[in-house]
């Protein structure tokens, strides 16, 4: 039976050491696809942030933005965006509570730069995007601006609690560790992205496989019976929730798992 596999990006497809893509992962994914299996990226990143180096591996498609945007064979099958009004409510609450916010959509990433970024991790992310020549000039207050999802950095729990008085009306809050949180529209996740494609291809859940390394992957890892945690996963409690623990991403973890499950 044809199998379908879903791969997180950071720390799964990429080395936990330096962010590179191990050659063994590229070779294994291509070999599995050559056997007639379907290979998909399943990421929290929106499509514009799925870099060419990932696309050039050769995937059948992409589940982006935690299930809010799905592509197959260069065609968009699903897109769920937010309204400008909802985006403005989130922006106003971010300013009120003084958290650093990064809006994401399939077209762009945009920080609120009306005040200096407070959190060092937010500042690092901003300059990382700048170094990659991302155009982040769109004014989030412009009438044509809206997000698909967003992330924040905060400094104390009271800030987060106050911010969520508004965000919880529309978005689920995902703990990404430390003082970093990801917000995804209710009823959408990496798991709903998988279900959408299982229905589309008429593939049973028993033939679905998910590969991940963090809490951001928990929804898909607990959704499919064949779930793989990378050896470098954090938190380590993820190991207890999957059917197979492979080696670190940097130590041929993808290749070893695909061989273990007889993809090729």
Tell which of 185, 215, 231 closes a domain.
185
Is 156 in contact with 147 (CB distance < 8 Å)?
Answer: no
Do 238 and 203 share a structural domain? yes
Report d(CA 56, CA 165) in Å as an integer: 41
pLDDT tier at 1, thresholds 50, 70, 90: confident
Q: How many domains does the chain have?
A: 2
pLDDT tens digit sequence for 125-138: 999 999 999 999 99
0.85 surpassed by pTM: yes
Do 198 and 143 share a structural domain? no
Do 228 and 206 share a structural domain? yes
pLDDT tens digit sequence for 218-229: 999 999 999 999
Tell which of 185, 210, 232 closes a domain.
185
At residue 100, the 3 state secondary structure works out as strand
pLDDT tens digit sequence for 140-161: 999 999 999 999 999 999 999 9
Do 154 and 106 share a structural domain? yes
pLDDT tens digit sequence for 38-94: 999 999 999 999 999 999 999 999 999 999 999 999 999 999 999 999 999 999 999
pLDDT tens digit sequence for 83-125: 999 999 999 999 999 999 999 999 999 999 999 999 999 999 9
What CATH number is given to the structural domain containing 75?
A: 3.40.50.1000
What CATH number is given to the structural domain containing 128?
A: 3.30.1240.10
List the domain range (segments joined by +) for residue 201.
4-80+188-260
- Which residues lie closer than 8 Å to 104 by C-beta, 6 or more apart? 45, 46, 49, 65, 147, 148, 149, 150, 151
Q: Which residue has the tokens 């390394």?
A: 213
Tokens of 171: 């978005």
């Amino acid at each position: 039976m044809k199998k379908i596999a879903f791969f997180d990006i950071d720390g799964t497809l990429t080395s936990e050491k330096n962010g590179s893509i191990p050659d063994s992962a590229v070779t294994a994914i291509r070999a599995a696809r050559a056997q007639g299996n379907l290979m998909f990226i399943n990421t929290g990143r929106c499509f514009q942030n799925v870099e060419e180096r990932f696309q050039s591996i050769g995937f059948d498609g992409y589940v982006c933005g935690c299930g809010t945007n799905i592509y197959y064979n260069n065609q968009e099958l699903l897109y769920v965006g937010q309204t400008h009004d909802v985006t403005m409510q989130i922006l106003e609450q971010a300013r009120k509570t003084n958290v650093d916010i990064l809006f994401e959509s399939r077209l762009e990433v945009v920080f609120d730069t009306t005040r200096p970024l407070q959190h060092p991790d937010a500042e690092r992310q901003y300059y990382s995007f700048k170094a990659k020549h991302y155009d982040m000039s769109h004014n989030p207050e412009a009438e044509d601006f809206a997000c698909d999802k967003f992330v924040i950095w905060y400094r104390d729990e009271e800030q987060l609690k106050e911010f969520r008085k508004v965000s919880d009306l529309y978005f689920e809050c995902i703990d990404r560790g430390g003082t970093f949180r990801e917000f995804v529209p209710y009823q959408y996740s990496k798991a709903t992205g998988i279900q959408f494609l299982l229905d589309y291809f008429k593939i049973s859940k028993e033939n679905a496989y998910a590969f991940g390394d963090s809490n951001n992957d928990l929804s898909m890892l607990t959704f499919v019976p064949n779930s793989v945690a990378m050896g470098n996963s954090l938190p380590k409690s993820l190991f207890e929730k999957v059917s197979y623990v492979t080696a670190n991403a940097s130590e041929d973890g993808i290749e070893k798992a695909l061989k273990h499950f007889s993809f090729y």
